Structures are given as structure tokens and as C-alpha cells.
Amino acid sequence: MKYSILLLFLFLALNLNGQNYQPDWESLDKRPVPQWFEDSKFGIFIHWGVYSVPSWGPTGDSIGVYDKYAEWYWRKMDQPGKVQKYFKEFHLKTYGPDFKYQDFAPMFKAELFDPEQWAELFKESGAKYIVLTSKHHEGFTLWPSAQSWNWNSVDIGPHRDLCGDLTTAVKKQGLHMGFYYSLYEWYNPIYRSDLNSYVDNHMIPQMIDLVIRYTPDILWTDGEWDKPSKEWKSEAFLTWLYNESPVKENIVVNDRWGSETRSKHGGIYTTEYGLIGDKEGIDSSIPHPWEECRGIGTSFGYNRNENLNDYSTPEQLIKLLVSTVSAGGNLLLDIGPDADGTIPVIMQQRLLDIGKWLKINGEAIYGTRAFIMSKKDEAINPETNKTIFFTQKNKDVYVICLDWPKSDIILKGLKPINKTKVQLLGTNISVAVKKAGGNLVITPPVLTPDDNQLAYVFKINSLNF
Ligand code: H79
């Protein structure tokens, strides 16, 4: 008895679980990103809310990346800017001048929503984690939030706890569940008039509620650019999350915690359609876990105005996944379900195409890290070759070819040892490998139409490096 009390005191004094973060970035930034995240590599983002009812945005090359987002419908209609006229014109023509955005809420019915079916599809896609919009910038919550009275999916529309129902189904499939949460709200009068009260009485209680109710593995914040992190009290919240909360071991957060935090503070760094705010994306030579997010098409929320040519092809999606992972990142690929709760068939198809490829080639993706070659080998740095990408797991290197190599692949500076073998994933064909003047040379075998894939992976076992 005495002994165990002593142990308890010792435990408290030493804080043996090591979670004693201070409410400042210097301390918070020391927390390692839980390894499950980097090993997972592929997740599915879901943008679903009142905007899924009009589900409309302008398309085409002349429209900027952020101006195509259908989930921005409410704001774009009201906010003077390049695309306001398109949104206004569509709205007037379709719904008339007296129809307010709020009037869409009862039309968001999710009557065909089958969370188990969604979760099965996600599992089949090979994704390892899900991030659902618990609340986008419109402020509508997909769970019965006390702070969002009459503007949530239980009070109006679906009359259902969408966050809760999806969480249960996703966890049952063994996938990680997470939430997107927008810090700012476009039209919340409290946000506009009294930020301090909004943060203390609305935003932080909502994030704590999400964490306690659903114990998510990811909290993916956004809409942070409007205020510095001090005003959002982000450091204080993260201190609670990392030290005290029920998810302190596994929770992964991103870098969107204030106008100054992207690629600097928080957890994983994030790009969006390859951009960070208004700048080109990540410098992946600085090793830090990061994640690219984008839609299969050009919007996060469902956009009925898109045609087939607005959607990425399966080949493009595999390229996106492979190039992201080979640069050390994760891909968070977005789908925009319909307001009726169905996932547009084209999105289902694309997810299943990725899943089929991952079933064969997943070992070149999951649990891998960027393959960094030493300086002297820069001649074959993956960045210099846009159709061949590399990943690494322990002593094995994966050479991922987007196009079938018609001639020898010469890998400068890679040193095979006697037991080095090369295998083409998904086939039983043995692949010839030889050492030639300090290079490793792979001679691609003859393929039959049955071996046709979206990208081809040569696995090099047991390299010496
Ligand atoms: O939810 C999806 C988008 O709706 C949301 N993020 C993804 C995950 C998103 N909202 N806005 N944006 C993305 C882009 C915002 C860009 C701007 Fe800016 C905000 C332009 C001006 C203010 C970035 C921050 C560039 C300057 C400051």
C-alpha cells in the first residue's frame, strides 16, 4: 500500500506520461505528431453542410482556385469580389430574391444517409482516416451543439447527429475519425461584435464538446487567418488538448491556429490545392509531417455545376497520392456528399479506383517515408523526374513508375548487395537487377494486359545505404 502511494507520487512528480505542455508555441511545438498519422498516408475529407443544398459554384480556367468552392456559396453571394455576380445570378435565377441562405437548412435532409455504407466505401478506398466538417464557416454544426441553437443538424434539416452517426460507423471499420472545425464564422453576430465572448462561450466550448463526445483522432481547424492565435486562445486550448483531454495520446492537429501559424506552429503543416494561403506549397526538404488537401474536382463541397472534365482522372489521383507521399506528405482527398446523404457516384468510383491500386501497391505507400538521397546523388533526386517517384521503408526502397518503363531504369548511386532482389508488386514475375558502375539497373520484364495498372511499383529489397 505504502509502496503504491509512493509510486503514485513519484509518477505525479516526474509526470511519467510526459504530458506537461505549457501554453506557448515553444512548448506546444515540441509535441511529436503521433506516428499513426504519418504511417496512414491517405485520408478522406468530407465537406457536408447547408451548402450541399445549392451545391453550386462557378467552374472553368478563368476562375481562381478559392473562387470555385461551392461551400463558400453564402459568402461569395454577399461579398463584393470577382465571382459575386456568378453566385448572385445563379441564386436569383434558381431560388428568387426572397430566398435566404438559411432557407436551405430545412432542405438539407440527408434522407438517404447510410453511415455504414459510407464507412465501407472508405475502408475499400484504402484510406486510413476520415475528416468530417463538424462546422464550416457558415456556423452550421453537424452535431447537436448547445452553442449553435437552431443552426445544427439535429434541430433542423436531417434531425440527426451526423457527427455521431458517422463516427460510430467509421470507428467500427477500424479507421481513425476526425473533425474539421472552422474557428471563424462569417455571420455569427457574437463573432462580429465581441470576439472574446465568441471564443470563450462559443468556439472553445464547441471544440471541447466535440473532443469529449466523440473522442476524435484529428481536430482539423481552419478559418484561422482572420485573427492571430493569441486572440483565438489557441495555445491555451492546445495545452488542455495535449495535457488533459481524453484524446491527448492520439490526437493530431494541424497548423491553422491563427493568422501567423501556418507552416510554423501546431501539428501537421497543411497545403490546399498545393497552396498555403496565397503562396506556393510546402518546402518538403524541411522534414515535418504535412498534408495536402483538395477535392477530386475543383471544390470541397459538392458542386453540381462540375462536369466530368472538372474531375481528376484515376491516373491523376494516383499521381497526386504518389507524388505527395514520396515528398513525405499525406493526402487528404475530399468528397462532397449530396444534401440527400448520397456520395456522388463519380466520387465513389474514384475512391474505389484508388483502393484497388492500394490493395496491390499499398506497401509502397503506408508506413513509408520520403526517400532522401545523399547530396552526391542529386542526379536522381525524385524531384528531377516527374514520372518516377521513390518511397522508403527500412532497408527497402520502392520505385513507383507512373508510366510503364520501356527501357532500363538506371538508379544512380543506389548500391545493391548480394541479396538485393527486385520485385514488381502485383505480379510473380522476377525482375532482373544488376550492378553497373555504382548504379543499380532494373530491366523491366515483359508485361501482359492483365498486369495493367495505374502505376507500377518496383520494390528493391535490402539495399545497402
Ligand atoms: O474548407 C475548405 C475551404 O472552404 C477552406 N479550406 C478548405 C479545407 C478555405 N476557406 N478559405 N480558403 C480555404 C482560402 C482562403 C483564402 C483567403 Fe486569405 C483568406 C484569402 C484571403 C483570406 C489566405 C489567407 C490568403 C490570405 C489570407
Q: Which of 221, 255, 268, 272 to mutate to test the pocket of ligand 1 (most atoms within 8 A of CB)?
A: 272
Minimal-distance CA residue to ligand 1 atom 2: 300
Look at residue 130 and give its three-state secondary structure: strand
Does the beta carbon of 287 lie inside 6 Å of ligand 1? no
Q: Report d(CA 338, CA 346) in Å as an integer.
A: 12
Instruction: Output the DSSP codes for 274-329.
Output: TEETTEE---TTS---EEEEEESSS-SS--TT--GGGSPPHHHHHHHHHHHHHTTE
d(CA 254, ligand 1 centre) in Å: 15
Q: How many other CB atoms sit within 10 Å of the CB of residue 426?
A: 15
Domain boundary assignment for the chain? 3-364, 371-464
Per-residue confidence (pLDDT) for residue 448, from 0 to 100: 83
- Say if residues 176 and 128 touch (Cβ distance below 8 Å): yes
- Say if residues 301 and 182 touch (Cβ distance below 8 Å): no
∠155-159-160 over CA atoms, to 5°?
115
Minimal-distance CA residue to ligand 1 atom 14: 66
User: How far is C-alpha 49 from the geometric centre of its chain's CA atoms?
Assistant: 18
Query: Can you tell me which atom of ligand 1 is nearest the CA of 136?
Result: 1
What order of strands is seen across the sheet that includes strand 369-370? 369-370, 388-393, 396-401, 456-460, 422-424
Per-residue pLDDT in tens (0 to 9) along the chain, 465 residues: 445 444 444 444 445 455 899 999 999 999 999 999 999 999 999 999 999 999 999 999 999 999 999 999 999 999 999 999 999 999 999 999 999 999 999 999 999 999 999 999 999 999 999 999 999 999 999 999 999 999 999 999 999 999 999 999 999 999 999 999 999 999 999 999 999 999 999 999 999 999 999 999 999 999 999 999 999 999 999 999 999 999 999 999 999 999 999 999 999 999 999 999 888 888 877 789 999 999 999 999 999 999 999 999 999 999 999 999 999 999 999 999 999 999 999 999 999 999 999 999 999 999 999 987 654 454 454 444 678 999 999 989 999 999 998 889 888 777 777 778 899 999 888 798 888 877 889 999 988 887 889 999 999 987 665
Per-residue confidence (pLDDT) for residue 379, from 0 to 100: 42
Say if domain 3-364 classifies as CATH 3.20.20.80. yes
Per-residue confidence (pLDDT) for residue 131, from 0 to 100: 99
- From residue 322, how far is each of 241, 273, 334, 406, 454 by CA, in Å? 32, 15, 16, 20, 11
d(CA 278, ligand 1 centre) in Å: 9
Per-residue confidence (pLDDT) for residue 126, from 0 to 100: 98
Per-residue confidence (pLDDT) for residue 450, from 0 to 100: 79
Look at residue 88 and give its three-state secondary structure: helix
Q: Do domains 3-364 and 371-464 have the same CATH topology?
A: no
Query: Can you tell me which atom of ligand 1 is nearest the CA of 220?
Result: 8
Per-residue confidence (pLDDT) for residue 11, from 0 to 100: 46
For the domain made up of 371-464, give the CATH fold. Immunoglobulin-like (2.60.40)
Q: Report d(CA 71, CA 49) in Å as an integer.
A: 8
Q: Report d(CA 458, CA 360) in Å as an integer.
A: 12
Per-residue confidence (pLDDT) for residue 383, from 0 to 100: 45
Minimal-distance CA residue to ligand 1 atom 12: 66
Angle between helices 345-361 and 314-326 (to 10 degrees): 50
Per-residue confidence (pLDDT) for residue 385, from 0 to 100: 60
Does the beta carbon of 64 lie inside 6 Å of ligand 1? no
Does the beta carbon of 222 lie inside 6 Å of ligand 1? yes
Cell of 377: 546523388
- From residue 37, how far is each of 19, 42, 93, 339, 372 by CA, in Å? 19, 9, 45, 30, 20
